[in-house]
Structure 1
Amino acid sequence: MKHPQRQQGFVLVTALIFLIVLSTLGVMALRGSLFEERMASNDRDRALAREYAEMALRDAERDILGLRFDGQFCATAGCATLRPDGTRPKTTADANFWGIDSATNPEAAFVDGGRTQALNMQGVYNADAATNCGMPVWSGANWEDAAAPARACTGTINAAVPTVPYGRFTNAPFAAPQGIPAPRYLIEVFAGPTLLSSSTSKVFFRITAVGFGRTTGPAGRTSVTLQSVFSPL
């Protein structure tokens, strides 16, 4: 009698190999999709943070001009927090308010941004601030973004210096989506002769603004930093 031939299992082995290959391809495709989704989410998060930083730049300009978010003067229309009297324009008659005298007013700008002063005096730095901070002022400022390690000035200040949240001096509303904190800014004041070595009466403001996104990590929250130079005249 003839014995039946033993099965070698070739078809089973081939099927298993195809199954492994298909599973690998599926996993790779899934990982690629997840990676692209993360990239898209990060791009959107940074775009959102940049938009908020731009809002903070405009808010700082209104702060300098003594205006509310709706274009009215805080001194007459009212704002929740007012800058000290004599440090901001009050009416359209103050079109030439910002000159050398205003820029060097000791109550208008501080070497440490008014770190130990009342809230309405904080966030504005004079031309000596960077020297006393031992670094650019924005590098030693507290942006309240849970940065790790925490930022702080060195030099004679040797502490974190303050920043201003969006809307504090302009009453501008900020409805934070998904718990995103309000953007923040700081202002540095420079009299024209300091920068231009001339007798100009112009005053320049360097505004640094930071907007935040949704994502947080070990180093802090996603953020975008923007700067602009502004002169009211």
Structure 2
Amino acid sequence: MPKSTVPPVQRRKHPYRPRQGGVALVMVLLFLVAITGLTVWAARQSMLGEGMSRNQQDLEVARQAAESALRDGERDLGGVIAPSGSTPSCPKRVILPIKFTADCIAGLCIRSDAAYATYQWSSANSLTTSEPWWPTGKGGAWNNDFNNTTPTKPIRTPPSTSSACDSFTGAVPLGTFTGAPAIKGVAIQPEYLIEYFKRSVPGRQEMAVYRVTARGFGYTNRTQVVVQSIFLPE
């Protein structure tokens, strides 16, 4: 059988092309992940800084409110007359040693020196085992009744007269007896407790000494600051 005269098909050789493994795509994805991580970190840092600033401002508001209540307690002890135009929740009172009770009625507290010597923070859980100004969870005498619908304390916002001026227990809201205006912007009006002691003062006979403890609230009732002062009557 005669051989075919048709020439065989010649394959054309293509120029060399390097093999591509997707390295550029991987690098771009890595850069995107890194940039995204940096952006998220910067946003979190910004939010953290804003939260810290807000907490610090809240704490400062509570501290200033506590200072206001502390001075109000000192005015209460000193018998300062309510300013004209003010609306105290209760009539001005004269604070006498006989008015101080273990139940802290109307914010006036008394304990024996022997009792103070036995108080232990770790085991305190009631009025008989704690100092009056300790937190309520430790048996403190603040009385956290902030319900204006059926309150057991005099109302300060809005100010109104109260029939419980001589019988309410716990701390005294700001301006109750002095007519000091309520503080705006705080979650709860600041309040104070007054404790009575008898102490020997150098160069003087045994005399009455009062400790005023006040607590202030910030924009929420979870933010609280407690301050104290010692008051010596003239």
Same fold (TM over 0.5): yes
The aligned counterpart of 2:100 is 109
Structure 2 residue runs without a partner (length 5+): 1-12, 116-126, 135-139, 147-168
Residue in 2 that maps onto 1:82: 91
Distance (whole Å) between structure 1 residues aligned to residue 37 and residue 189 of structure 2 = 45
**TM-score, normalised with respect to structure 2:** 0.68
Equivalent residue, structure 1, for 2:191: 184
Name the residue aligned to 2:122: none
- Quote the offset at 1:144 in angstroms: 2.5
CA contact (8 A) 1:192 1:198 kept: no
Q: Number of residues paired by the alignment?
A: 182
User: Which residue does 2:78 correspond to in 1?
Assistant: 65
User: What's 1:31 paired with?
Assistant: 44
Aligned residue identity for 1:232: P
Change (3 A) 1:58 1:69: farther
What SS does the aligned partner of 2:223 have?
Answer: strand
Q: Which residue of 1 aligns with 2:133?
A: 138
Q: Which structure is higher in helix share? A: 1
Q: 1:142 to 1:80 in 2, by over 3 A?
A: closer
Partner in structure 1 of residue 181 of structure 2: 173
User: Are the equivalent residues in 1 in contact too, given 2:89–2:175 (CA < 8 A)?
Assistant: no
Change (3 A) 1:82 1:186: same
CA contact (8 A) 2:72 2:178 kept: yes
TM-score normalised by structure 1 residue count: 0.69
Written as runs of structure 1 = structure 2, the 5 A alignment for 1:152-231 is 162-177=170-185, 180-193=187-200, 196=201, 200-215=205-220, 221-231=222-232
Unaligned runs of 5+ in 1: 89-101, 115-121, 147-160
Equivalent residues of 2:217, 2:223 under 8 A apart:
yes
Name the % identity: 35
TM-aligned CA distance change 1:143 to 1:24, over 3 Å: farther
What is the RMSD of the two structures over their aligned residues, measured on CA atoms?
A: 2.8
Q: Give the deviation of 1:54 after TM superposition.
A: 0.4
Q: Secondary structure at the match of 1:7?
A: coil
The C-alpha deviation readout for 1:9-58, integer Å capped at 9, x for no partner, is: 11111111011011101111111111111111111111110000000000
Q: Deviations over 1:183-209 (max 9, x none)?
A: 01100011234xx59972532110110
Amino acid at match of 1:226: V
Q: Is the 8 A contact 1:111 1:129 kept in 2?
A: no
Larger radius of gyration: 2
- How far apart are the structure 2 equivalents of 1:134 and 1:199? 32
Distance across 1 between alignment mates of 2:48 and 2:171 = 35
1:48 aligns with 2:55: no
In the other structure, the counterpart of 1:92 is: none
